[in-house]
Structure 1
Amino acid sequence: MVGLWISLLALLVGLLIQSYLKLLMNRRMFPPGPLPLPLIGTLWYTGIRFSTDTLTKFTQKYGNFATIWIGPFPIVILSGFQIVKEGLINHSETLADRPVTYFVLHAFNRKGIGFANGHGWKQQRRFGIITMRNLGLGKKGMEFQIEEEARRLVETFSQTGGQPFDPSLFISNAISSLISTVSFGYRFSHEDEMFRKLMESIDSLAQFGVSFSHALYTTFPWIMKYLPGLHQRTLSCVKMALSFAKEEIQKHKENQDLHDPQDFIDYYLLQMEKSKDDPNSTFSEDNLAQCITELFIAGTETTSSTLQWALLLMVAYPDIQERVYKEVEDVLGSSHSVSYQDRKKMPYTNAVIHESQRVKYILPIGVPRRCAKELHMLGYHIPKKTLVVTDLNSVLCDPKQWETPNEFNPNHFLDKEGKFITREEFLPFGAGARTCMGEQMARMELFLFFTHLMRTFRFQLPEGVKELNQDPVVGLSMHPHPYKLCAIPRSSL
């Protein structure tokens, strides 16, 4: 009996040695990185929690094109503007896939846009872009809805009477109401119970995405799916969000007018009708429900966090805030409305918004990609299905591209005459085939919300508070620590 156990142990050790030697052989085809150890890969160097500090330390030692290993699985890291540009733009189609983890597969079943690949992804994304345009993206239709929501937010801030308050919930409610209008054709009441549950589901997903529970689920799915924990609660939240989307789809089907689509669901149902005899069509109610869920997840947290950072920065830099206010007043005068086209006459305000996005970028890393085919880049031949992570923070703070990369400096986006300049290395929405589908909507939201708020209030610290914490809370997004400010109406100054 003892001999049998010794034989089994020897066999196990032999298999581990063989597996490790194979890993070391495979390592030669990848960019440089720490020596991976058996079972743990390079976790001895990077640690379990991946952060922007980890990436900075890593790239300083191994360069902007490097590799880490999670167990036997390689992850290629792209950092700095030139390397990220080479990957995402020059090899856009090769890096068009998303990794399919066990959680993504279980929760989203290869549906929707953000977590789908291949023909299904291309068809859904193309439809999404066209539909957002049809709904008024870049036209008066969408702009009118955003301006209306911005005015409601101004009214909400006014009700604080200049007293200290936390703006985060008010901003999140305003942004999610816009997503609701785009998706369903109406805005939720913020007291609505289902709306509250939907927002809680988004928060739960954000927390789970960077949790240790997610890592365990991805590594040991056959065990974790039977155990209680955060992963089960998150899966339940996803099911709830999808179920709610399907209820809304059913309501639209009952009241559908094929000749006058009003929102995303209407347009999608119309496309389903047009494609019902196409054997290659991927348009289905399951795909639609997933697309709607993704609109809320991607559209709420990112824009909301950016606006929260922008207000915090205005409090931290009151001289910049006053200069923005003066420019807005000089351009708008007695006009009651703000147009997205007004940004062309407000170069400094536009620069401040862009600089807020740059210096307080809201994602720890770009959403991971996966090689759709073998990647031939900078002398390396990286196999198909290899995971690739882009460090977009390193692009937005690349010392070779930005004069003062770690400082809030609106002059990064202004020429010597004070005119706004577009920067190639400004990539907060990503680049290539997977660039953010809602980029244009986000740009309109940021400009119209920010301009309305700057025009109406002077934002300042509460009495007795000397400064606000500018370090981010690192999660699926990097939002500010909870803070309070005072919104003093300009009319009372």
Structure 2
Amino acid sequence: MEPVGTITVVLLLILVATTIVARWKKEQRSQNYPPGPPALPLIGNLLQVRAADTCKTFRKLSEKYGPVFSLRFGSERVVVVFGYEVVREVLVNRGDEFTDRGRFPLAEKSNKDLGIFMSNGEMWTQTRRFTLTTLRDFGMGKRSVEEQVQEETAMLLQELERTKGRPFDPAMLLSAAVGNAICRILFGERFGYDDEEYRHVLRRLAENFQVESSIAGQLYNILPGLMDRLPGPHHTLFRNNSFIQDFLAKKVAEHEATLDLAAPRDFVDAFLRRMEQEKGKPGTAFRRDNMQTTVFDMFVAGTESTSITLRYCLMLLLEHPEVAGKVQEEIERVLGRERPPTLRDRGVMPYTEAVLHEAQRYLDLVPLGFIRTVKRDTPLGGFTIPKGCTIYPVLSSALRDPRHFENPEAFDPRHFLDEKGGFKRSEAFLPFSAGKRMCLGESLARTQLFLFLTAILQRFQLRHPPGRPPRLDLRPQVSGIMNIPRPAQLCFCPR
């Protein structure tokens, strides 16, 4: 290329870049739009956000641009909300404006705007109201669910005893135990820990959680059209979803064959009865496709997230034996060695409660929160968020807010203890989110975490496998939509 031609190309590139930046700045000023870094054509700010540690990138950007700042992912405008106060503003104080779920292509492909997780508008309102009422009817937050979890706890302890203190990875066993709690509510039945079909479903579910938080999963949510044409693990996720949905559909079909409309036995029966009552009604959410997706949402959300949290809590206690020792001292004092734990014990076991809360805070399971979109032009943090804009309410920024947790980067149960050793709540504790779209299974999750953990520590001493490195790596194996802990082998030695 001639020198004059080269100079001309360079000048044109500079002119184009200057025009893009000027247009971006003008747009922000004219709309009172939140500030943020300049975006490149077509790809936006993708190169500035580290997929492997998105929260760290967001933290640095918030230090420069403030708690409300903007990005572009491809052509999509995104506003990131960082810090407890503004996160609460979005989730609770202005919850009506920010209630709608934002675009989440990985889930949309399977859920098709149905169910409890991805639906919006009247479909979401009807489904959520029915789900809340039905969960209460079938014991959520009541003695019946507690008794079911206690029964499952006894079976879990038997399986742990069979290991005879030998090293093993408890991930599958914990998933099976936790999953049985939601299966009892959905289908009125549990599955044996050696049930191969159930284990296969759980393996695929665990794989999906890994894929969702991988770089490929994150790129799919930003560039779904392109990623559909490229090979990668995201295609495995869709195949896994189909397998899990087929398994659940088979259980629904079994219920239909034995359904008594006058005496629903569980969630599925209750939904089938409501479908019959609203047959032919326009706009109803009580359709077969919505039932299948709702059951899928509840099974997925009620299984892996709680089992991951329980597994990580055990890993933390293995790495902090002084904390595990204090929990076991409290168990000895309140329960002794024989009496099984009950939910009533939670109120007189403040240190155990503090440890469970701190483990959830430190794990930071869903660091970015789940994407929202704004229904109308809405003021936030001194800016105007335009209708349809995607919102990231970063839950990690609340769970690790130094104004609410003195030492946010360390595992420290004192974050939830007062001066007298009593349990102390924190308004910034938001692992289940907050507002109208907070996790519906919070009560069940908290029941399981307390009963499973106290029963395990009452019966077993946690040990490192002989001859292995004396420390576990507590950093996430994958950090994206979720923080997924690394696999770990533990020894459950009878006390």
1:442 deviates by 0.4
Q: TM-score, normalised by structure 2?
A: 0.90
1:244 deviates by 2.4
The gaps in structure 1 that reach 5 residues or longer are 1-12
CA distance in 2 between partners of 1:218 and 1:22 (Å): 26
- Is residue 485 from structure 1 mapped to residue 490 from structure 2 by the alignment? yes
Alignment counterpart, residue 471 of structure 2, candidates 467, 471, 489: 467
Provide the alpha-carbon RMSD of the alignment.
Answer: 2.5
Which digits, 9 at most, give the CA deviation of each residue in 1:382-429, with x for residues without a partner?
Answer: 111111112211211111111222222212212222221222111110
CA distance in 2 between partners of 1:16 and 1:233 (Å): 39
Which digits, 9 at most, give the CA deviation of each residue in 1:32-65, with x for residues without a partner?
Answer: 2111122221223224555222222222222221
Alignment counterpart, residue 306 of structure 2, candidates 300, 303, 306: 303
Alignment counterpart, residue 61 of structure 1, candidates 57, 60, 64: 64
CA distance in 2 between partners of 1:159 and 1:214 (Å): 38
Contact in 2 for aligned 1:309/1:479 (Cα 8 Å) = no
Corresponding residue SS for 2:93? coil
Q: Would the alpha carbon gap of residues 182 and 84 (structure 1) be closer, same or farther in structure 2, given more than 3 Å must change?
A: same
1:293 maps to which residue?
Answer: 296
Corresponding residue SS for 2:301? helix
1:212 deviates by 4.2
Question: For structure 1, which segment, 95-104 or 134-143, has the greater mean C-alpha deviation from structure 2 after superposition?
Answer: 95-104
Alignment counterpart, residue 128 of structure 2, candidates 117, 125, 130: 125
Alignment counterpart, residue 405 of structure 1, candidates 384, 405, 408: 408
CA distance in 2 between partners of 1:227 and 1:479 (Å): 25
CA distance in 1 between partners of 2:310 and 2:441 (Å): 16
Which digits, 9 at most, give the CA deviation of each residue in 1:436-484, with x for residues without a partner?
Answer: 1101110101010011011111112233432111211224432322222
CA distance in 2 between partners of 1:228 and 1:44 (Å): 21
Contact in 1 for aligned 2:185/2:266 (Cα 8 Å) = yes
Question: For structure 1, which segment, 374-383 or 99-108, has the greater mean C-alpha deviation from structure 2 after superposition?
Answer: 99-108
| Aligned residue runs from structure 1 range 219-238, under 5 A | 221-222=224-225, 224-225=227-228, 228-238=231-241
CA distance in 2 between partners of 1:206 and 1:324 (Å): 30
Q: Would the alpha carbon gap of residues 310 and 221 (structure 1) be closer, same or farther in structure 2, given more than 3 Å must change?
A: closer
1:425 maps to which residue?
Answer: 428
1:163 maps to which residue?
Answer: 166
Contact in 2 for aligned 1:23/1:72 (Cα 8 Å) = no
Alignment counterpart, residue 339 of structure 1, candidates 319, 339, 342: 342
- What amino acid maps onto 1:431 in structure 2? A
2:9 maps to which residue?
Answer: none
Q: Would the alpha carbon gap of residues 446 and 222 (structure 1) be closer, same or farther in structure 2, given more than 3 Å must change?
A: closer
Percent identity, please. Answer: 35
1:227 deviates by 5.5
Alignment counterpart, residue 370 of structure 1, candidates 360, 363, 373: 373
2:5 maps to which residue?
Answer: none
- What amino acid maps onto 1:269 in structure 2? L
Q: Would the alpha carbon gap of residues 209 and 86 (structure 1) be closer, same or farther in structure 2, given more than 3 Å must change?
A: same
- Is residue 196 from structure 1 mapped to residue 220 from structure 2 by the alignment? no
Which digits, 9 at most, give the CA deviation of each residue in 1:336-395, with x for residues without a partner?
Answer: 332112100111111111111111221231111111222211221111111111221121
Q: Would the alpha carbon gap of residues 313 and 105 (structure 1) be closer, same or farther in structure 2, given more than 3 Å must change?
A: closer
Q: Would the alpha carbon gap of residues 127 and 231 (structure 1) be closer, same or farther in structure 2, given more than 3 Å must change?
A: same
Q: TM-score, normalised by structure 1?
A: 0.91
Which digits, 9 at most, give the CA deviation of each residue in 1:97-131, with x for residues without a partner?
Answer: 11234444332111101011111011111111111
Contact in 2 for aligned 1:302/1:477 (Cα 8 Å) = no
- Is residue 386 from structure 1 mapped to residue 389 from structure 2 by the alignment? yes
1:25 maps to which residue?
Answer: 26
1:147 maps to which residue?
Answer: 150
1:26 deviates by 2.9
Corresponding residue SS for 1:153? helix
Alignment counterpart, residue 266 of structure 2, candidates 263, 266, 271: 263
CA distance in 1 between partners of 2:157 and 2:406 (Å): 35
Contact in 2 for aligned 1:146/1:448 (Cα 8 Å) = yes
2:178 maps to which residue?
Answer: 175
Which digits, 9 at most, give the CA deviation of each residue in 1:55-79, with x for residues without a partner?
Answer: 2222222222111211332211111
